[in-house]
Amino acid sequence: MNEGLLQMTSHGKTEWADRLIPNLDQSATADLISRLCDFAFIISSDGEITQTVTSPFLAPKLDLTPWTGLQFKDTLTKESVPKFEARLAEFQKGQKEVRPVELNHRATDQQAELPVRYTYHSGAADGSTLLLGSDLRPVAEMQQQLVEAQIALENDYDARREHEIQLRVLMDSSDVATVFITLETGAIVSCNSAAEILLGRPRNELIDASFASEFEDEGLTSLIDRMVTAASDASMGAILAKSALGGRSYRIDPTLFRGATSQMLLCKIEPEEPAQEPVDQLATHLVSFFHKGVDPIVFINMSGQILSVNEAFVSLANVTHAQTLSGRSMSEFFSRGSVDLNVILESARRNGKMRLYSTKVLNEHGDERPVEISTTQIRTEREPICVLLLRNARRVEAISTPTSQMSEAEINSVVELIGSQSLKDIVARSTDVVEKMCIETAIGMTSNNRVAAAEMLGLSRQSLYVKLRKYDLV
């Protein structure tokens, strides 16, 4: 270390020697400052600009000499003035460490808005302040580019989501079973409703499943290889394959294309036998009715879990996608919860169907809507399931019907008490009539299932049996 630059103090420490920086004239000082920062301002104690210096390396170059004589705050934007004055007051009070501040100068005819980061330094004995600034325009431009890139990404996402919705609507509106297969793994990545019916499995089970496993193995050449060969050779046309479920023969028309990450196959599947056309036409009609029907339709298993729903129920439940409902309990959408579900499932187990059941359905936001539900139990190869057909009802017929079941004698017996007994006795007699009517209604709605009727009425089974004997309803 050059000993001429450092000297030892009495405390054993080293510090810079005197006259390290020689006395500089005004132009040399200005040149030094211009090379240390982008902008430099000397402002008087009352905030007037007395001198300006601009770096020669600044691009694009700016001439700030016309600002000399102006109040520094008058060159700033409205929101920057309070920040400048607050930081200047701190500095003039003698605070040792004043944090840098980012200020924006107003746009003029010659230049756009100018963002600068300033630090405060002592000037001369007259109380002037030296402001050294760093040009923030490159940072602002980068931030603007990031914002524009984010907006572009969001627009691309919206466009992609729009395309996905259009593709989903197009596929579900098609009567031809269609699946997308990734060539790398041979797995199904997407399919339409017609493919669910044809392959006999719900969509959530088909996704990521091997497409070749849905058909019988025929010969040494795999089904995927045969489809690739058929898709590459336009003269071959469709290939034939037998379903692993029932051995029925189908025509598969593959199309090979390159996706975003790998090659894929678009396969259209149709039955080979023309004799099955009426059955296929009925299945097509039923699928179309399921998806386009105005009444909500829900398939549930015997545990009450939702298997699939149509768009009408999606709208009724006020959810975004039908896939979000799969696996949820149907009791979540009943106003009486598990009570309604148990009544429906128990009736389906004993009778195989329920013609009419009135209740209220809750959507995702808790809004109620009265509905009438008819239930049918159907058998599948794996397990029995229930089909619920919901019909919107402005009034619940099952609740209004019991009024007509009250005999005229019961009504007259209450009316005749007026004038002969106190209001308290009349109300007690009326309560018995209404209580009997409610019990009869609950027993009828649950098909004489007294456990479910007790739950519906909020009574214990013992209390229900007591009231049944009281009103001679046993």
Q: In this predicted model, what pLDDT tens digit does every residue of 366-422 receive, in sequence order?
A: 888 888 889 998 887 778 899 999 988 754 444 444 444 455 555 666 666 665 667
Please state, as a whole number, how many other Cβ atoms lie within 10 Å of the Cβ of residue 302: 13
Distance CA 474, CA 145 (A): 80
Task: Render pLDDT for 105-132 as a digit per residue (tens, 0 to 9).
Answer: 888 777 788 888 998 887 666 678 888 8
Task: Render pLDDT for 197-236 as a digit per residue (tens, 0 to 9).
Answer: 888 888 888 899 989 888 887 655 688 888 888 888 877 7
- What domains can you pick out in the chain, each with its CATH number? 22-135 (3.30.450.20), 174-281 (3.30.450.20), 293-396 (3.30.450.20), 401-474 (1.10.10)
Helices (H), 102-248: 137-173, 193-199, 203-206, 223-232
Helices (H), 174-276: 193-199, 203-206, 223-232
Cβ-count burial 67-76 (b if 16+ within 10 Å, e if not): beeeebeebb
* 131 vs 61, more confident: 131
* 217 vs 355, more confident: 355
* Rg of the chain, C-alpha, whole Å: 42
Q: CA dist 241 to 34, 222, 470, Å? A: 81, 11, 68
Strands 368-378 and 353-362: antiparallel
Task: Render pLDDT for 93-103 as a digit per residue (tens, 0 to 9).
Answer: 877 677 888 89
- Pair 306, 330: CB distance under 8 Å: yes
Question: 106, exposed or middle or buried, with CB in 10 Å at 0-12, 13-18, 19+?
Answer: middle
Nearest to 179 by CA among 88, 310, 267: 267
- Pair 223, 211: CB distance under 8 Å: yes
Residue 467 structure tokens:
């009231």
Q: Write phi, then psi, for 251 (nearest 5 degrees).
A: -100, 125
Q: What is the pTM of this model?
A: 0.38
Please state, as a whole number, how many other Cβ atoms lie within 10 Å of the Cβ of residue 238: 17
